Amino acid sequence: MDAVTFASAPNPSPANSSSSSALSSRVHRFSVCDPRRRRRRPLPALRSQRQSASHHDVVIVGAGIVGLSIARHLLLHTPLSVAVADAAVPCSGATGAGQGYLWMSHRTPGSDTWELAVRSKKLWEELAAEVDNLGGGGARERLGWMRTGSLLVGRTSDEMATLEERTKILSQAGIQAECLFAASLHELEPELYVGHDGGAMFLPGDCQIDAFQAVSLIEKTNGSYSSKGRYMELYNDPAVSLVRSEITGTVEAVQTSKHTLYGRKAIVVASGAWTRSLLHSFLEPNHRLDIPVMPRKGHLLVLEKFDKLKLNHGLMELGYVGHQAAKSNSIPLTSESNEYEHGASSISMTATLNTKGHLILGSSREYKGFSREVDKSILKCIWDRAGEFFPSLKNVHLDINENTEIRVGHRPYMPDGKPVIGFVPDLPNVLIATGHEGSGLALALGTAEMVTDMIIGNPGKVDFSPFSIKDRFSGMEYLDSITKNDAIGLAA
Protein backbone atom coordinates (compact mmCIF):
# COMPACT_ATOMS: atom_id res chain seq x y z
CA MET A 1 0.00 0.00 0.00
CA ASP A 2 1.50 3.32 -1.05
CA ALA A 3 0.19 5.55 1.72
CA VAL A 4 -2.34 5.37 4.50
CA THR A 5 -3.07 8.31 6.76
CA PHE A 6 -4.92 7.75 10.03
CA ALA A 7 -5.95 10.83 11.95
CA SER A 8 -6.27 10.82 15.70
CA ALA A 9 -9.71 9.80 16.85
CA PRO A 10 -11.61 11.37 19.71
CA ASN A 11 -11.32 9.31 22.84
CA PRO A 12 -14.82 9.06 24.30
CA SER A 13 -14.98 8.72 28.05
CA PRO A 14 -16.12 5.35 29.36
CA ALA A 15 -19.84 5.09 29.81
CA ASN A 16 -22.23 2.52 31.18
CA SER A 17 -25.50 1.25 29.95
CA SER A 18 -28.52 -0.79 30.80
CA SER A 19 -29.53 -1.16 27.19
CA SER A 20 -28.48 -2.75 23.96
CA SER A 21 -28.65 0.58 22.19
CA ALA A 22 -26.79 2.54 24.81
CA LEU A 23 -23.79 3.20 22.64
CA SER A 24 -22.57 -0.35 22.47
CA SER A 25 -21.31 1.04 19.20
CA ARG A 26 -20.23 4.41 17.99
CA VAL A 27 -19.99 5.84 14.50
CA HIS A 28 -16.83 7.94 14.35
CA ARG A 29 -16.54 10.81 11.92
CA PHE A 30 -13.68 12.48 13.78
CA SER A 31 -14.91 16.02 13.18
CA VAL A 32 -18.57 15.86 14.11
CA CYS A 33 -20.19 14.40 17.21
CA ASP A 34 -23.93 13.81 16.89
CA PRO A 35 -25.51 14.97 20.18
CA ARG A 36 -28.63 12.92 19.52
CA ARG A 37 -26.54 9.80 20.03
CA ARG A 38 -25.10 10.97 23.33
CA ARG A 39 -26.80 9.04 26.09
CA ARG A 40 -27.37 9.93 29.66
CA ARG A 41 -25.69 8.10 32.50
CA PRO A 42 -27.97 5.58 34.22
CA LEU A 43 -29.03 6.64 37.67
CA PRO A 44 -27.36 4.60 40.42
CA ALA A 45 -30.63 4.38 42.28
CA LEU A 46 -34.17 5.72 42.03
CA ARG A 47 -34.40 9.38 42.82
CA SER A 48 -36.99 10.61 45.24
CA GLN A 49 -38.92 12.55 42.59
CA ARG A 50 -42.36 11.37 41.66
CA GLN A 51 -42.33 8.66 38.98
CA SER A 52 -44.98 8.42 36.30
CA ALA A 53 -46.56 4.98 35.85
CA SER A 54 -48.13 3.35 32.81
CA HIS A 55 -49.63 -0.08 32.16
CA HIS A 56 -48.90 -2.29 29.16
CA ASP A 57 -49.16 -5.94 28.22
CA VAL A 58 -45.47 -6.28 27.33
CA VAL A 59 -42.50 -4.13 28.36
CA ILE A 60 -39.28 -4.45 26.34
CA VAL A 61 -35.93 -3.26 27.66
CA GLY A 62 -33.71 -2.46 24.67
CA ALA A 63 -34.43 -0.64 21.40
CA GLY A 64 -31.89 -2.37 19.21
CA ILE A 65 -33.05 -4.25 16.14
CA VAL A 66 -34.11 -7.25 18.25
CA GLY A 67 -36.15 -5.25 20.77
CA LEU A 68 -37.85 -3.09 18.14
CA SER A 69 -38.62 -6.13 15.98
CA ILE A 70 -40.23 -7.89 18.93
CA ALA A 71 -42.41 -4.83 19.51
CA ARG A 72 -43.35 -4.74 15.82
CA HIS A 73 -44.33 -8.41 15.70
CA LEU A 74 -46.45 -8.10 18.83
CA LEU A 75 -48.22 -5.03 17.47
CA LEU A 76 -48.87 -6.56 14.05
CA HIS A 77 -49.89 -10.06 15.10
CA THR A 78 -51.53 -9.72 18.53
CA PRO A 79 -53.87 -7.24 20.27
CA LEU A 80 -51.25 -6.64 22.99
CA SER A 81 -49.91 -3.24 23.98
CA VAL A 82 -46.16 -2.65 24.13
CA ALA A 83 -43.69 -0.25 25.74
CA VAL A 84 -40.00 -0.05 24.76
CA ALA A 85 -37.41 1.56 27.04
CA ASP A 86 -33.80 2.27 26.17
CA ALA A 87 -30.91 4.17 27.72
CA ALA A 88 -30.14 5.77 24.34
CA VAL A 89 -31.73 5.84 20.89
CA PRO A 90 -32.04 3.17 18.20
CA CYS A 91 -28.96 2.41 16.09
CA SER A 92 -26.55 3.86 18.63
CA GLY A 93 -25.79 0.30 19.63
CA ALA A 94 -24.55 -2.84 17.91
CA THR A 95 -27.39 -2.53 15.39
CA GLY A 96 -25.93 0.63 13.88
CA ALA A 97 -22.42 -0.81 13.72
CA GLY A 98 -23.17 -3.79 11.51
CA GLN A 99 -22.67 -4.55 7.83
CA GLY A 100 -26.27 -5.42 7.03
CA TYR A 101 -25.94 -8.79 5.33
CA LEU A 102 -28.72 -11.38 5.34
CA TRP A 103 -26.60 -14.31 4.21
CA MET A 104 -26.82 -18.06 4.49
CA SER A 105 -23.33 -18.73 3.12
CA HIS A 106 -21.68 -18.83 6.55
CA ARG A 107 -24.41 -20.89 8.22
CA THR A 108 -24.51 -24.65 8.71
CA PRO A 109 -27.58 -26.79 7.98
CA GLY A 110 -28.57 -28.84 11.01
CA SER A 111 -26.98 -26.46 13.52
CA ASP A 112 -29.06 -25.10 16.39
CA THR A 113 -29.43 -21.71 14.68
CA TRP A 114 -30.10 -22.96 11.15
CA GLU A 115 -33.91 -23.08 11.26
CA LEU A 116 -34.06 -19.70 12.98
CA ALA A 117 -31.83 -18.21 10.27
CA VAL A 118 -33.93 -19.73 7.48
CA ARG A 119 -37.16 -18.50 9.04
CA SER A 120 -35.82 -15.03 9.74
CA LYS A 121 -34.52 -14.58 6.19
CA LYS A 122 -37.94 -15.63 4.86
CA LEU A 123 -39.58 -12.98 7.06
CA TRP A 124 -37.17 -10.32 5.76
CA GLU A 125 -37.99 -11.39 2.21
CA GLU A 126 -41.71 -11.04 2.94
CA LEU A 127 -41.19 -7.61 4.49
CA ALA A 128 -39.19 -6.45 1.46
CA ALA A 129 -41.95 -7.67 -0.86
CA GLU A 130 -44.57 -5.80 1.18
CA VAL A 131 -42.53 -2.59 1.02
CA ASP A 132 -42.05 -3.01 -2.75
CA ASN A 133 -45.81 -3.33 -3.16
CA LEU A 134 -46.29 0.01 -1.43
CA GLY A 135 -44.24 1.83 -4.06
CA GLY A 136 -42.49 5.07 -3.17
CA GLY A 137 -39.01 3.80 -3.83
CA GLY A 138 -39.72 0.31 -2.59
CA ALA A 139 -37.51 -1.86 -0.44
CA ARG A 140 -34.28 -0.57 -1.95
CA GLU A 141 -35.09 2.98 -0.91
CA ARG A 142 -36.74 2.22 2.44
CA LEU A 143 -34.75 -0.81 3.60
CA GLY A 144 -31.50 -0.46 1.69
CA TRP A 145 -32.51 -3.84 0.24
CA MET A 146 -30.18 -5.41 -2.31
CA ARG A 147 -30.21 -8.97 -3.61
CA THR A 148 -26.52 -8.92 -4.42
CA GLY A 149 -25.81 -12.56 -3.67
CA SER A 150 -22.84 -13.53 -1.54
CA LEU A 151 -19.44 -15.01 -2.26
CA LEU A 152 -17.67 -17.05 0.41
CA VAL A 153 -14.07 -16.88 -0.77
CA GLY A 154 -11.16 -19.31 -0.40
CA ARG A 155 -7.60 -19.00 -1.70
CA THR A 156 -6.04 -22.44 -1.18
CA SER A 157 -6.80 -25.96 -2.35
CA ASP A 158 -7.77 -26.94 1.21
CA GLU A 159 -10.18 -24.04 1.45
CA MET A 160 -11.67 -24.95 -1.92
CA ALA A 161 -12.25 -28.50 -0.71
CA THR A 162 -14.12 -27.03 2.25
CA LEU A 163 -16.17 -24.79 -0.02
CA GLU A 164 -17.07 -27.69 -2.32
CA GLU A 165 -18.33 -29.68 0.66
CA ARG A 166 -20.21 -26.68 2.02
CA THR A 167 -21.82 -26.11 -1.38
CA LYS A 168 -23.04 -29.69 -1.42
CA ILE A 169 -24.47 -29.46 2.11
CA LEU A 170 -26.27 -26.17 1.48
CA SER A 171 -27.67 -27.43 -1.82
CA GLN A 172 -29.05 -30.52 -0.08
CA ALA A 173 -30.69 -28.18 2.45
CA GLY A 174 -32.53 -26.35 -0.32
CA ILE A 175 -30.25 -23.34 -0.69
CA GLN A 176 -29.19 -22.39 -4.22
CA ALA A 177 -25.38 -22.62 -4.12
CA GLU A 178 -22.62 -22.97 -6.68
CA CYS A 179 -18.90 -23.58 -6.28
CA LEU A 180 -16.82 -21.38 -8.58
CA PHE A 181 -13.14 -21.81 -9.32
CA ALA A 182 -10.81 -18.94 -10.15
CA ALA A 183 -11.62 -18.48 -13.84
CA SER A 184 -15.41 -18.53 -13.36
CA LEU A 185 -15.15 -16.35 -10.28
CA HIS A 186 -13.18 -13.74 -12.23
CA GLU A 187 -16.16 -13.27 -14.54
CA LEU A 188 -18.35 -12.34 -11.55
CA GLU A 189 -15.79 -10.25 -9.67
CA PRO A 190 -13.00 -9.11 -12.02
CA GLU A 191 -11.16 -7.15 -9.30
CA LEU A 192 -11.11 -9.99 -6.78
CA TYR A 193 -7.83 -11.92 -6.55
CA VAL A 194 -7.84 -15.47 -5.19
CA GLY A 195 -4.79 -16.96 -6.93
CA HIS A 196 -4.75 -20.02 -9.17
CA ASP A 197 -5.95 -22.41 -6.45
CA GLY A 198 -8.76 -20.23 -5.11
CA GLY A 199 -12.42 -19.69 -5.79
CA ALA A 200 -15.68 -19.10 -3.97
CA MET A 201 -19.07 -20.48 -3.09
CA PHE A 202 -21.78 -18.33 -4.69
CA LEU A 203 -25.24 -17.93 -3.15
CA PRO A 204 -27.28 -15.75 -5.56
CA GLY A 205 -30.23 -15.56 -3.15
CA ASP A 206 -28.37 -13.78 -0.35
CA CYS A 207 -29.37 -10.19 0.40
CA GLN A 208 -28.34 -7.16 2.39
CA ILE A 209 -30.13 -4.27 4.05
CA ASP A 210 -29.21 -1.01 5.73
CA ALA A 211 -29.72 -1.17 9.50
CA PHE A 212 -30.55 2.52 9.86
CA GLN A 213 -33.20 2.38 7.15
CA ALA A 214 -34.63 -0.89 8.47
CA VAL A 215 -34.88 0.50 12.01
CA SER A 216 -36.50 3.69 10.69
CA LEU A 217 -39.13 1.62 8.89
CA ILE A 218 -39.80 -0.52 11.96
CA GLU A 219 -40.02 2.56 14.20
CA LYS A 220 -42.55 4.09 11.83
CA THR A 221 -44.67 0.93 11.95
CA ASN A 222 -44.49 0.78 15.74
CA GLY A 223 -45.23 4.48 16.10
CA SER A 224 -48.44 4.11 14.10
CA TYR A 225 -49.89 2.23 17.07
CA SER A 226 -49.22 5.06 19.54
CA SER A 227 -52.44 6.87 18.69
CA LYS A 228 -54.33 3.65 19.39
CA GLY A 229 -52.87 3.48 22.90
CA ARG A 230 -50.93 0.31 22.12
CA TYR A 231 -47.36 1.60 21.87
CA MET A 232 -45.01 3.75 23.91
CA GLU A 233 -41.29 4.33 23.40
CA LEU A 234 -39.01 5.82 26.05
CA TYR A 235 -35.53 6.69 24.82
CA ASN A 236 -32.67 8.11 26.90
CA ASP A 237 -34.44 6.52 29.86
CA PRO A 238 -32.41 3.59 31.24
CA ALA A 239 -34.00 0.70 33.12
CA VAL A 240 -32.71 0.56 36.68
CA SER A 241 -34.68 -2.19 38.42
CA LEU A 242 -37.54 -4.65 38.32
CA VAL A 243 -40.59 -4.13 40.52
CA ARG A 244 -42.03 -7.14 42.30
CA SER A 245 -45.55 -7.59 43.58
CA GLU A 246 -45.68 -7.36 47.36
CA ILE A 247 -48.41 -10.00 47.32
CA THR A 248 -47.19 -12.64 44.86
CA GLY A 249 -43.49 -11.78 44.58
CA THR A 250 -43.68 -11.95 40.78
CA VAL A 251 -42.13 -9.27 38.60
CA GLU A 252 -44.79 -6.80 37.55
CA ALA A 253 -42.93 -3.77 36.21
CA VAL A 254 -39.70 -2.23 34.98
CA GLN A 255 -38.49 0.87 36.79
CA THR A 256 -36.64 3.32 34.56
CA SER A 257 -35.02 6.57 35.63
CA LYS A 258 -38.30 8.39 34.98
CA HIS A 259 -41.11 5.86 34.70
CA THR A 260 -42.65 2.72 36.12
CA LEU A 261 -43.70 0.49 33.26
CA TYR A 262 -46.10 -2.27 34.30
CA GLY A 263 -46.15 -5.36 32.09
CA ARG A 264 -49.22 -7.51 32.55
CA LYS A 265 -48.06 -10.45 30.46
CA ALA A 266 -44.29 -10.20 30.07
CA ILE A 267 -41.08 -8.25 30.60
CA VAL A 268 -38.58 -8.81 27.76
CA VAL A 269 -34.89 -8.03 28.28
CA ALA A 270 -33.33 -7.50 24.84
CA SER A 271 -30.29 -5.55 25.96
CA GLY A 272 -27.52 -7.09 23.89
CA ALA A 273 -24.05 -7.16 25.37
CA TRP A 274 -25.28 -5.46 28.54
CA THR A 275 -27.76 -8.20 29.43
CA ARG A 276 -25.51 -9.87 31.99
CA SER A 277 -24.86 -6.73 34.02
CA LEU A 278 -28.46 -5.61 33.69
CA LEU A 279 -29.74 -8.88 35.09
CA HIS A 280 -27.23 -8.67 37.93
CA SER A 281 -28.67 -5.30 38.87
CA PHE A 282 -32.25 -6.53 38.43
CA LEU A 283 -32.07 -9.75 40.44
CA GLU A 284 -31.45 -10.44 44.10
CA PRO A 285 -27.85 -11.26 45.12
CA ASN A 286 -28.77 -14.88 45.86
CA HIS A 287 -30.36 -15.46 42.44
CA ARG A 288 -28.24 -18.03 40.59
CA LEU A 289 -29.01 -16.99 37.01
CA ASP A 290 -25.95 -15.83 35.07
CA ILE A 291 -26.26 -15.31 31.32
CA PRO A 292 -22.61 -15.40 30.17
CA VAL A 293 -23.04 -12.95 27.28
CA MET A 294 -19.86 -11.00 26.56
CA PRO A 295 -19.11 -7.83 24.57
CA ARG A 296 -17.11 -8.70 21.47
CA LYS A 297 -15.73 -5.51 19.98
CA GLY A 298 -15.57 -4.99 16.25
CA HIS A 299 -14.47 -2.32 13.78
CA LEU A 300 -15.87 -1.61 10.32
CA LEU A 301 -14.35 0.82 7.83
CA VAL A 302 -16.88 2.69 5.65
CA LEU A 303 -15.58 4.53 2.57
CA GLU A 304 -18.26 6.89 1.33
CA LYS A 305 -19.06 7.11 -2.41
CA PHE A 306 -16.04 4.92 -3.09
CA ASP A 307 -15.35 4.63 -6.82
CA LYS A 308 -11.89 3.05 -6.75
CA LEU A 309 -13.26 -0.48 -6.62
CA LYS A 310 -16.08 -2.14 -8.53
CA LEU A 311 -17.86 -4.71 -6.39
CA ASN A 312 -20.77 -6.76 -7.74
CA HIS A 313 -21.58 -9.00 -4.74
CA GLY A 314 -21.17 -9.20 -1.01
CA LEU A 315 -17.93 -10.97 -0.09
CA MET A 316 -16.66 -12.82 2.95
CA GLU A 317 -13.50 -14.88 3.30
CA LEU A 318 -13.91 -18.44 4.46
CA GLY A 319 -11.99 -17.71 7.65
CA TYR A 320 -14.94 -15.64 8.87
CA VAL A 321 -17.05 -18.76 9.25
CA GLY A 322 -14.94 -19.99 12.13
CA HIS A 323 -13.81 -16.47 12.99
CA GLN A 324 -10.29 -17.65 12.36
CA ALA A 325 -7.49 -15.14 12.61
CA ALA A 326 -5.87 -13.72 9.52
CA LYS A 327 -2.17 -13.07 9.30
CA SER A 328 -1.03 -9.51 9.76
CA ASN A 329 2.25 -7.64 9.94
CA SER A 330 0.74 -5.07 12.27
CA ILE A 331 -1.18 -7.01 14.90
CA PRO A 332 -0.43 -10.33 16.56
CA LEU A 333 -3.47 -12.42 15.70
CA THR A 334 -4.56 -15.74 17.09
CA SER A 335 -7.38 -18.22 16.74
CA GLU A 336 -10.75 -17.55 18.28
CA SER A 337 -10.18 -20.14 20.98
CA ASN A 338 -7.47 -17.98 22.51
CA GLU A 339 -8.97 -14.58 21.74
CA TYR A 340 -10.51 -13.99 25.13
CA GLU A 341 -7.47 -15.31 26.96
CA HIS A 342 -4.98 -12.92 25.41
CA GLY A 343 -7.12 -9.98 24.31
CA ALA A 344 -5.85 -10.59 20.78
CA SER A 345 -7.66 -9.57 17.62
CA SER A 346 -8.93 -11.72 14.79
CA ILE A 347 -9.57 -10.21 11.37
CA SER A 348 -11.43 -11.67 8.41
CA MET A 349 -12.14 -9.86 5.18
CA THR A 350 -15.73 -8.85 4.49
CA ALA A 351 -16.75 -6.36 1.81
CA THR A 352 -20.11 -4.97 0.77
CA LEU A 353 -21.28 -2.01 -1.29
CA ASN A 354 -24.55 -0.43 -0.15
CA THR A 355 -27.26 1.43 -2.08
CA LYS A 356 -25.51 4.75 -1.42
CA GLY A 357 -22.32 3.55 -3.04
CA HIS A 358 -20.44 3.25 0.25
CA LEU A 359 -17.85 0.48 0.48
CA ILE A 360 -18.00 -1.26 3.87
CA LEU A 361 -14.95 -3.28 4.88
CA GLY A 362 -14.51 -5.51 7.90
CA SER A 363 -14.21 -7.08 10.17
CA SER A 364 -12.41 -7.42 13.49
CA ARG A 365 -13.20 -9.31 16.66
CA GLU A 366 -11.61 -8.79 20.04
CA TYR A 367 -12.43 -8.79 23.74
CA LYS A 368 -11.77 -5.32 25.13
CA GLY A 369 -14.60 -4.94 27.61
CA PHE A 370 -16.84 -2.05 26.61
CA SER A 371 -14.12 0.15 25.19
CA ARG A 372 -15.36 2.20 22.25
CA GLU A 373 -12.01 3.66 21.27
CA VAL A 374 -11.01 3.44 17.64
CA ASP A 375 -7.87 1.37 17.21
CA LYS A 376 -5.99 2.71 14.19
CA SER A 377 -3.84 -0.41 13.96
CA ILE A 378 -7.02 -2.50 13.60
CA LEU A 379 -8.22 -0.23 10.80
CA LYS A 380 -4.89 -0.53 9.01
CA CYS A 381 -5.10 -4.31 9.35
CA ILE A 382 -8.62 -4.31 7.85
CA TRP A 383 -7.41 -2.16 4.96
CA ASP A 384 -4.32 -4.31 4.39
CA ARG A 385 -6.40 -7.49 4.52
CA ALA A 386 -8.81 -6.11 1.92
CA GLY A 387 -5.79 -5.26 -0.25
CA GLU A 388 -4.79 -8.92 -0.29
CA PHE A 389 -8.08 -9.74 -2.01
CA PHE A 390 -8.36 -6.53 -4.05
CA PRO A 391 -4.88 -5.58 -5.29
CA SER A 392 -6.15 -2.27 -6.73
CA LEU A 393 -6.60 -0.99 -3.17
CA LYS A 394 -2.87 -1.21 -2.57
CA ASN A 395 -2.42 1.82 -4.82
CA VAL A 396 -5.11 3.89 -3.10
CA HIS A 397 -4.16 6.63 -0.66
CA LEU A 398 -6.55 6.35 2.28
CA ASP A 399 -7.05 9.41 4.46
CA ILE A 400 -9.17 8.42 7.42
CA ASN A 401 -10.45 12.01 7.72
CA GLU A 402 -11.82 12.23 4.21
CA ASN A 403 -15.22 10.72 3.39
CA THR A 404 -14.66 7.96 5.93
CA GLU A 405 -16.79 6.56 8.70
CA ILE A 406 -15.65 4.16 11.42
CA ARG A 407 -18.18 1.90 13.07
CA VAL A 408 -17.26 0.41 16.42
CA GLY A 409 -19.68 -1.91 18.17
CA HIS A 410 -19.97 -4.70 20.70
CA ARG A 411 -21.53 -7.91 19.49
CA PRO A 412 -23.34 -9.82 22.24
CA TYR A 413 -21.25 -13.00 22.14
CA MET A 414 -22.33 -16.30 23.66
CA PRO A 415 -19.67 -19.01 24.26
CA ASP A 416 -21.89 -21.77 22.88
CA GLY A 417 -22.54 -19.83 19.68
CA LYS A 418 -26.29 -19.35 19.84
CA PRO A 419 -28.69 -16.75 21.20
CA VAL A 420 -30.53 -16.92 24.49
CA ILE A 421 -34.28 -16.71 23.88
CA GLY A 422 -36.64 -17.81 26.60
CA PHE A 423 -38.25 -17.26 29.98
CA VAL A 424 -36.12 -16.95 33.10
CA PRO A 425 -36.50 -19.94 35.44
CA ASP A 426 -38.37 -18.93 38.61
CA LEU A 427 -39.45 -15.66 36.93
CA PRO A 428 -42.12 -16.96 34.55
CA ASN A 429 -43.04 -13.54 33.10
CA VAL A 430 -39.45 -12.34 32.44
CA LEU A 431 -38.03 -13.30 29.07
CA ILE A 432 -34.48 -12.88 27.68
CA ALA A 433 -33.57 -12.30 24.01
CA THR A 434 -29.87 -11.70 23.53
CA GLY A 435 -26.58 -13.29 22.44
CA HIS A 436 -27.01 -13.00 18.66
CA GLU A 437 -23.34 -11.96 18.25
CA GLY A 438 -22.93 -10.64 14.69
CA SER A 439 -26.33 -11.94 13.53
CA GLY A 440 -28.71 -9.63 15.35
CA LEU A 441 -29.98 -8.01 12.19
CA ALA A 442 -30.24 -11.26 10.25
CA LEU A 443 -32.04 -13.13 13.06
CA ALA A 444 -34.16 -10.25 14.36
CA LEU A 445 -37.48 -11.04 12.66
CA GLY A 446 -37.30 -14.74 13.45
CA THR A 447 -36.44 -13.94 17.06
CA ALA A 448 -39.36 -11.51 17.23
CA GLU A 449 -41.76 -14.17 15.98
CA MET A 450 -40.35 -16.68 18.45
CA VAL A 451 -40.68 -14.32 21.42
CA THR A 452 -44.25 -13.46 20.42
CA ASP A 453 -45.14 -17.16 20.22
CA MET A 454 -43.63 -17.70 23.67
CA ILE A 455 -45.61 -14.84 25.19
CA ILE A 456 -48.99 -15.86 23.76
CA GLY A 457 -48.39 -19.59 24.20
CA ASN A 458 -48.15 -20.68 20.56
CA PRO A 459 -45.99 -23.72 19.73
CA GLY A 460 -43.90 -21.69 17.28
CA LYS A 461 -42.61 -22.27 13.76
CA VAL A 462 -39.05 -22.84 15.03
CA ASP A 463 -38.08 -25.12 17.91
CA PHE A 464 -37.57 -23.04 21.06
CA SER A 465 -35.49 -25.57 22.97
CA PRO A 466 -31.96 -24.84 21.62
CA PHE A 467 -32.24 -21.27 22.88
CA SER A 468 -33.78 -21.86 26.30
CA ILE A 469 -32.12 -20.79 29.54
CA LYS A 470 -32.95 -23.77 31.72
CA ASP A 471 -29.96 -26.09 32.40
CA ARG A 472 -27.93 -24.44 29.64
CA PHE A 473 -25.13 -22.68 31.46
CA SER A 474 -23.78 -25.32 33.80
CA GLY A 475 -20.04 -25.86 33.42
CA MET A 476 -19.39 -22.30 32.24
CA GLU A 477 -17.72 -21.13 35.44
CA TYR A 478 -14.57 -20.38 33.45
CA LEU A 479 -16.28 -17.26 32.15
CA ASP A 480 -15.99 -15.63 35.55
CA SER A 481 -12.26 -15.23 35.08
CA ILE A 482 -12.75 -13.97 31.52
CA THR A 483 -15.28 -11.32 32.36
CA LYS A 484 -14.28 -10.20 35.84
CA ASN A 485 -12.20 -7.40 34.35
CA ASP A 486 -15.26 -6.16 32.51
CA ALA A 487 -17.25 -5.93 35.74
CA ILE A 488 -16.03 -2.42 36.44
CA GLY A 489 -17.34 -1.22 33.11
CA LEU A 490 -20.53 -3.20 33.50
CA ALA A 491 -21.50 -2.02 36.96
CA ALA A 492 -20.00 1.48 37.28
Tell me, what CATH number does 164's domain have? 3.30.9.10
Residue 188 shares a structural domain with residue 232: no
pLDDT exceeds 70 at position 323: no
Q: What is the pLDDT of residue 5?
A: 38
| 178 within domain boundaries | yes
The answer on 232 and 83 residing in a single domain is yes
For residues 309 and 307, give the distance between their C-alpha atoms in angstroms, rounded to a whole number: 6
The answer to whether residues 144 and 354 touch, using CB atoms and an 8 Å cutoff, is: yes
> Per mean pLDDT, which range of 1-5, 77-81, 157-161 is the poorest?
1-5
| 124 within a domain of the structure (yes/no) | no
pLDDT digits (tens, 9 = 90+) for 94-130: 999 999 999 999 999 999 999 999 999 999 999 999 9
What share of the chain in percent tops pLDDT 70? 81
CATH of the domain at 84: 3.50.50.60
Contact (Cβ atoms closer than 8 angstroms) between residue 337 and residue 415: no
Q: Is the dihedral of CA 14, 66, 91, 405 positive or negative?
A: positive
Is the residue at 445 inside a domain?
A: yes
- Same-domain pairing of 315 and 394: yes
Lowest mean pLDDT, pick from 204-218, 314-328, 450-464: 314-328
SS3 117: helix
Q: What is the DSSP letter of 232?
A: E
| SS3 state of residue 141 | helix
Cis bond before residue 363 (omega within 30° of 0): yes
Measured CA to CA, the distance from residue 49 to residue 472 in angstroms comes to 41
Q: If DSSP codes are grouped into helix, strand and coil, which group holds residue 431?
A: strand
Whether 131 is in a domain gets the answer no
Residues 281, 301, single domain; the answer is no
- What's the pLDDT score for residue 343? 57
Side by side, which strands form the sheet with 150-154?
25-28, 404-413, 294-303, 359-366, 345-353, 314-317, 150-154, 199-203, 178-181
- pTM, two decimal places: 0.86
Would the pLDDT of 242 be above 50? yes
- What is residue 484's predicted lDDT score, i.e. its pLDDT? 38
Find the range with the poorest average confidence among 115-129, 222-236, 306-320, 399-413.
Answer: 399-413
- Same domain for 247 and 201: no
* 122 within some domain: no
pLDDT score of 322? 60
Same domain, 440 and 378: no
Please give the C-alpha separations between residue 306 and each of 210, 300, 402, 442, in angstroms, as whole numbers: 17, 15, 11, 25
> Do residues 172 and 320 both lie within one domain?
yes
Decide if pLDDT at 60 tops 70.
Answer: yes
Label residue 369 left, alpha or beta by phi (over 0 means left) and psi (-120 to 50 means alpha).
left
CA dist 212 and 355 (Å) reads 12
pLDDT at 136: 83
Which residues have a Cβ under 8 Å from the Cβ of 216 and sit 6 or more positions away? 142
Question: Do 285 and 298 have their domain in common?
Answer: no
360 with 398, same domain: the answer is yes
What is the residue-averaged pLDDT of the chain? 84
Owning domain of residue 231: 35-98+212-292+416-491
Residue 11: pLDDT band by 50, 70, 90 thresholds? very low
Which of 384, 413, 442 lies at the terminal end of a domain, its last residue? Answer: 413
Lowest mean pLDDT among 23-27, 290-294, 296-300, 442-446: 23-27
Is the domain of 327 the same as that of 370?
yes
Are 288 and 365 found together in one domain? no
pLDDT at 189 over 90: yes
Supply the pLDDT for residue 490.
Answer: 28
Q: Which segment, 21-30, 88-97, 424-433, 437-446, is predicted with the most confidence on average? A: 437-446
Please state the separation of Cα 350 from the chain's center in Å.
15
Query: What confidence category does residue 282 fall into, taking pLDDT thresholds of 50, 70 and 90?
Result: confident
Grouping H, G, I as helix, E, B as strand and the rest as coil, residue 395 is helix
Which of 20, 434, 35, 63 shows the shortest CA–CA distance to 233? Answer: 63
Of the residues 413, 432, 465, the one at which a domain ends: 413
Q: Is 105 inside any structural domain? A: no
Out of 413, 433, 459, pick the residue that ends a domain.
Answer: 413
pLDDT given at position 4: 39
pLDDT score, position 65: 97
Q: Which of 3-7, 292-296, 360-364, 470-474 has the lowest mean pLDDT?
A: 3-7
In a domain, 18, yes or no: no
Q: Which of 11, 61, 33, 444 is nearest to 237 (CA)?
A: 61
Residue 20: pLDDT over 60: no
C-alpha dihedral over 350, 354, 357, 363, to 10 degrees?
-20
Q: How many domains does the chain have?
A: 2
Q: How confident is the model at residue 335 (pLDDT cuts 50, 70, 90)?
A: very low
- CA-based nearest residue to 119, from 484, 460, 386, 431: 460
In a domain, residue 132? The reply is no
The answer to whether residues 363 and 349 belong to one domain is yes
